[in-house]
Chain A
């Protein structure tokens, strides 16, 4: 369990139909140590998803590379399981078969598969729904299925693209707790994209700030855990909050008006 993730001079340029070039990522450099919880924060359209897709191997970079240890990423693989922004649970598989998909693809023997599947279903609190169809679950429950599926493949690195963006406040808080417990237990490296600063402060060891494709700041979040309301009201937490706001181009007055 010791894969360092290295982003080296990463560029990703798209050509839009009008012929206009969009620098989704522009010379991004940073290094993530094993077991870190990294939140990637930025405004809409500023390259967060692109960063994750390059790391996942779903989007080849225009220049530079993402390396796991010494090897550059060239395609998708189960060493970097991803939870997507949209609903990607397989509707035609029972909940437990969804969680089992990655284990099947990696050709684990049946006994082991069942054991791991049961474990993760329990971890996300869905053991009673193992035999349900996804359509019988709520949106939040389906997100938990996606989370369990990604966790179950046993990768050291897990990528999450605004996984809880569409969920209500209570469900989201509940899932933060579930996710943090899983993280503490497994010590996986987690890349978590969000545009919710509050969410980043609850989850992250470190916040990577993207603006127009450039890495504009790399903020260590050394707040004690659990990050409850009291912790988030401390001067340290508030100053991090304001720093991020400033980077996103929102002044303090605007923030208080909002």
Chain B
């Protein structure tokens, strides 16, 4: 006969804990290994014997370029490119000029922050619009009857086709409208579709069960649809956000006078010369890393709010 004692249970707990810790350490190790490998490959591609030698800067050059131009950029000043039009207007009233602008107006930082802000505003607005319409269509099915065909017509793919038109319409004069407009449009559609799909995927049996327990529209919305759709909506939000980084910078590349995408366009004319490749690669890399970091934080949050669901955890990963 075996008896389980307090110490046995503690042992089991400690073992489980150790195992979890080991998994975490392994995860970090593999991550570092992956990063080192990527850097090695990058270094090889950028080596003098590589056919891409003139297009791909070595990693260290890209990092150094980014660091040197982040807060103030000599190159930008040479090209009379700054990111403070409002401040310049003020200065000109008192007889000042471009060279009186503070350093950070010529750094990448202001462009990057502008892009990041625009994308955040746009994704937030789009998510609010898309979810409001999508979720309220669950309570009032009429809304879905009207919206679904329209949303289906615009789809999410044509937005990439429509993006250049946004640039032409609002373009230079209302850059905020252009970036935010495109990303809001895209996020709204995506979040609408994802909330509808998430609701469709809730089993009919569960809704019927709620009905026989006395559930009405309100309580079923609050206790069934709202929590039940979270994993898929959260997954959709990650996709929307990941796409928004790309779409937001793409619009700037197409023809906005400020932001990270604009910097990329500016430098792309200097490809093959001096710092061109290093600048373009470092900016792309920066937005890539930013997107991954934001997504990582998002995953942690999603995992917490969907801890009831195994598949939710997987979706959140």
Contact = CB atoms under 8 A, between A and B. Distances in A.
Instruction: Report the interface size class on chain A.
Output: 20 to 34
Contact of B213 (A58, A134, A149): A149
Interface of B: 203, 205-206, 208-216, 219-220, 223-224, 227-228, 230, 307-310
A92 interface: yes
A173 B9 CA distance: 31
Given A84-B205, A92-B308, A135-B310, A78 B213 contact: yes
Contact of A81 (B212, B223, B309): B212
Interface of A: 56-58, 76-78, 80-82, 84, 86-88, 90-93, 97, 101-102, 104-106, 133-135, 146, 149-150, 153, 159
A80 B228 CA distance: 24
B212 A90 contact: no
Nearest to A146: B209
B214 A92 contact: no
Given A76-B208, A105-B220, A133-B308, 12 more contacts: A76-B212, A78-B214, A88-B206, A90-B227, A91-B309, A101-B210, A105-B210, A134-B308, A135-B310, A150-B212, A150-B213, A153-B214
Given A58-B208, A84-B205, A90-B223, A105 B216 contact: yes
Contacts of B308: 91-93, 133-135
> Counting chain B CB atoms within 10 Å of each CB, which of A56, A57, A90, A133 scores highest?
A90
B219 to A, nearest CB: 4
Nearest to B220: A105
Nearest to B223: A101
Nearest to B229: A92
Nearest to A88: B209
B212 A92 contact: no
B183 to A, nearest CB: 30
Given A104-B219, A133-B307, A159 B212 contact: yes
A88 B210 CA distance: 9
A105 B214 CA distance: 6
A37 B74 CA distance: 88
